[in-house]
Structure 1
Amino acid sequence: MVMKKTTEFLVLAALAGVLSGCHKRNEPPAAPPLPTVPVRLQKVEAKTYPAIEEVVGTVRAKMKSSISAKVSGRIEKLLVAPGQKVKAGDLLLQLDVGEIQAQLQRAQAVQKQAAIELERMKSLFAQATVARAEVDRAEMQFQVAVGNVKEVETMLGYARVTAPFDGVVTRKIADVGDLASPGLALLEMEDPNLLRLEAEVPEALIDRVKLGDQFTVRIASLPQLLEAVVGEMDPVADPVSRTFNVKMDLPQATGLRSGLFGRVAIPVSQTTTLRVPASALVVRGQMEIVFVANKGAAQLRLVKTGKRIGEEIEVVSGLNAGEEVVVDNAPRLRDGQPLTRQ
């Protein structure tokens, strides 16, 4: 009986050892410590900034032209295409104006006949055969013939349509073989070096805009902000939209071109807010996150942001003045990760 109990005890002990060994082998290994990340920090401060209202606008060329012919005729040659740069005086298209060439030949023939008649009358007058009035009449007919030739030559010159200024062709409306007539647009061109932002300013803000004022403009496709100067503004509001068209001259900038979307910031008052660099904000799904340096480690902080002004973003909640936020390498960080200041 004692031997049986002893055997059962040994079996149970062996099973316990086996189970204990299996349990130890199934335990996951401890996670390695997070690496230390070098970062730049910036202290959050409450500052007074101008409160602004943004008005949307479109970049347009200050100098643009709709090219049309001054005489009628079919387009014989079209020498440019949209996107092509041209210089003032460059030939854009050539018209087939056979009728005008025929008119020129007739006018030249009349001029030649008038010149012969004038010389004949002068010779007869010298012989006292005709009166002075006949010579004057022949002189007048000759001058009229000369004028007719010059007029037709001018019309013939209009068959060559040239660029009115340095610029780029933006649109081709007609093609070879189409009939051109006075006032009918054939091409469009503009000067890409002289651009401005055209914005419709609401009546509530127009009193804050004056000729010569300078405003900050943000173009969606450009990384930098631009400073625009008000060059023109309508004195009367649009009766439907109740807005005023304001045109602001833009400086030259790489990548700036006609048709881009932009926003102009119009100051309306002063406000005190917290702002952080845009590089400090990390967006994960619907969450807006910044990392605060706390005792040498990154502390994840959910925030609520407001407007973006330049390279800074307004923080409405989630941060306190005096805290230091990570302004680079933020997307790489995890909560609690060790930090070292660069």
Structure 2
Amino acid sequence: MKPWILLSTLLLLVSCGRHEAASHKAAALSEAKVKVQGARLQPHTAAEEVVGTVRSKLRAMVEAKISGRLLEYTAIPGTKVKKGDLLARLENQEIQAKVDQAKAMLEQAQSDFSRQKQLIESKATARQDFDAADARVKVATASVSEAETMAGYARVTAPFDGVITRKLADVGDLAMPGKPLLEIEAPTSLRFEADLPEAMLDRVSMGAKMQVRIATLPQPLEAVVSEIAPVADPVSRTFLVKLDLPSAEGLRTGQFGRVAVPVAETKLLLVPAASVIRRGQMELLFVAKDGHALLRLVKTGKVLSDGIEILSGLEEGAQVVINDAAKLTDGQPVTIQP
């Protein structure tokens, strides 16, 4: 017999032996009952995340309305205050002197008016002099009111219920209009602020609902767009967008987060999360075909609430095993349960 004929015969025998062994192995596996679900293309809105910060809707930089040295400063960061609570007190000797002067002038004007009233009743003075005395009383009264109002500005009070977030002065500092003394925020009403590039601005509209993910919270929050800046920042060329946040435990001002801005509509091939098996660096799943479980090596993408995206290794419509996939063996007979 020629050598090449002998070699071909040996290879054929070996091949037949392997096929027979594989057949025996498949036959030795018990039939498994499985549930399947077809891999489907599902519409998906692709989004790009933009970083931002949680801020209070109501916040203010509190400053003095008059100039003066700070005699008292009770604003401590983290302290809760009520509207009208004293935050700081300024020296006001000069203003108090003006109050005393205005009151003295009012007393004099009232005295002159009383005398002119008696004289006009007895027709011993001209009507013009009586009217002038009456006008002086009104002017003096207004001067007292103005001086007392200015004196009241020596007390700096909380403009609304909130929390002191920053202390910007101390006792002995010179307070003046335009120089902030502290920052106060209302923690009960929060929003998310982010700077969006110009290219993404047309994807956002007033009243639109968007997902905001805060680093310290387990679940994303559904926020509503409430403000869109009409002009761009001249330095960053971005537009400030503000979104109202729902109340959530653990949510507070200053937290870092990301808002998902929709940028395109696409379709993803999705399978249930339970169908994907991870073994080391490999991602696997089983499909049911011709009464057998066939192992497929796949590559996954996004993890969504309704499934996992499959980037490669699987075709649309494939019957993916969704229960006890990790217990199956490649080639094992299966029966599909309804």
* TM-score (norm. length: structure 2): 0.72
Q: Which residue of 1 aligns with 2:255?
A: 260
Matched, 1:68 2:67: no
Q: 1:132 to 1:71 in 2, by over 3 A?
A: same
Matched, 1:226 2:208: no
**What is the rounded CA distance, in whole Å, between the counterparts of 1:162 and 1:62 in structure 2?**
20
Q: Please, which of 140, 143, 164 is the counterpart of residue 159 of structure 2?
A: 164
Q: Which residue of 2 aligns with 1:59?
A: 54
Q: How many residues align?
A: 286
**Counterpart contact for 1:274–1:316, Cα < 8 Å:** no
**What is the rounded CA distance, in whole Å, between the counterparts of 1:234 and 1:165 in structure 2?**
26
Q: Deviations over 1:173-205 (max 9, x none)?
A: 011111111121001011122221222223333
**Counterpart contact for 1:211–1:233, Cα < 8 Å:** yes
Q: 1:142 to 1:239 in 2, by over 3 A?
A: closer
Q: Please, which of 145, 148, 151 is the counterpart of residue 146 of structure 2?
A: 151
Q: Please, which of 196, 200, 204 is the counterpart of residue 205 of structure 1?
A: 200
Superposed displacement of residue 224, structure 1: 1.0
**Counterpart contact for 1:54–1:263, Cα < 8 Å:** no
Q: 1:236 to 1:163 in 2, by over 3 A?
A: same
**What is the rounded CA distance, in whole Å, between the counterparts of 2:284 and 2:66 in structure 1?**
70
Q: Give 5+ residue unaligned stretches, structure 1.
A: 1-40, 295-299, 328-332, 337-342
Matched, 1:100 2:95: yes
Q: 1:101 to 1:241 in 2, by over 3 A?
A: closer
Superposed displacement of residue 270, structure 1: 2.3
Q: Deviations over 1:283-304 (max 9, x none)?
A: 98xx5x667689xxxxx99875
Q: Which residue of 2 aligns with 1:176?
A: 171
* TM-score (norm. length: structure 1): 0.71
Matched, 1:246 2:245: no
Q: 1:241 to 1:175 in 2, by over 3 A?
A: closer
Q: 1:84 to 1:112 in 2, by over 3 A?
A: same
**What is the rounded CA distance, in whole Å, between the counterparts of 2:36 and 2:77 in structure 1?**
49
The residue type paired with residue 55 of structure 1 is E
Matched, 1:187 2:182: yes
Q: 1:177 to 1:241 in 2, by over 3 A?
A: closer
**Counterpart contact for 1:229–1:250, Cα < 8 Å:** yes
Q: 1:237 to 1:96 in 2, by over 3 A?
A: closer
Q: 1:264 to 1:274 in 2, by over 3 A?
A: same
Q: Please, which of 120, 127, 132 is the counterpart of residue 132 of structure 1?
A: 127
Superposed displacement of residue 206, structure 1: 2.3
Q: Please, which of 269, 284, 288 is the counterpart of residue 273 of structure 1?
A: 269
Q: Is 209-218 or 117-126 further displaced after alignment?
A: 117-126
**Counterpart contact for 2:36–2:319, Cα < 8 Å:** no
Q: 1:164 to 1:282 in 2, by over 3 A?
A: farther
**What is the rounded CA distance, in whole Å, between the counterparts of 2:72 and 2:214 in structure 1?**
39
* Residues 5-20 of structure 1 mapped to structure 2, 5 A cutoff: none
Q: Is 314-323 or 239-248 further displaced after alignment?
A: 314-323
Q: 1:240 to 1:110 in 2, by over 3 A?
A: closer
Q: 1:307 to 1:239 in 2, by over 3 A?
A: farther
Q: Please, which of 119, 123, 142 is the counterpart of residue 118 of structure 2?
A: 123
**Counterpart contact for 2:285–2:298, Cα < 8 Å:** no
**What is the rounded CA distance, in whole Å, between the counterparts of 2:230 and 2:49 in structure 1?**
18
**What is the rounded CA distance, in whole Å, between the counterparts of 2:71 and 2:323 in structure 1?**
66
Matched, 1:84 2:79: yes
Q: Give 5+ residue unaligned stretches, structure 2.
A: 1-34, 288-294, 330-338
Q: 1:306 to 1:142 in 2, by over 3 A?
A: same
Q: Is 49-58 or 88-97 further displaced after alignment?
A: 49-58
**Counterpart contact for 1:54–1:266, Cα < 8 Å:** yes
**Counterpart contact for 2:37–2:319, Cα < 8 Å:** yes
Q: 1:99 to 1:45 in 2, by over 3 A?
A: farther
Secondary structure of the 1:204 match is helix
Q: 1:245 to 1:114 in 2, by over 3 A?
A: same
**Counterpart contact for 2:283–2:300, Cα < 8 Å:** no
The residue type paired with residue 52 of structure 1 is A
Q: Please, which of 209, 217, 220 is the counterpart of residue 214 of structure 1?
A: 209
Superposed displacement of residue 233, structure 1: 1.0
**What is the rounded CA distance, in whole Å, between the counterparts of 2:218 and 2:86 in structure 1?**
38
**What is the rounded CA distance, in whole Å, between the counterparts of 1:75 and 1:312 in structure 2?**
62
Q: 1:326 to 1:233 in 2, by over 3 A?
A: farther
**What is the rounded CA distance, in whole Å, between the counterparts of 1:136 and 1:281 in structure 2?**
98
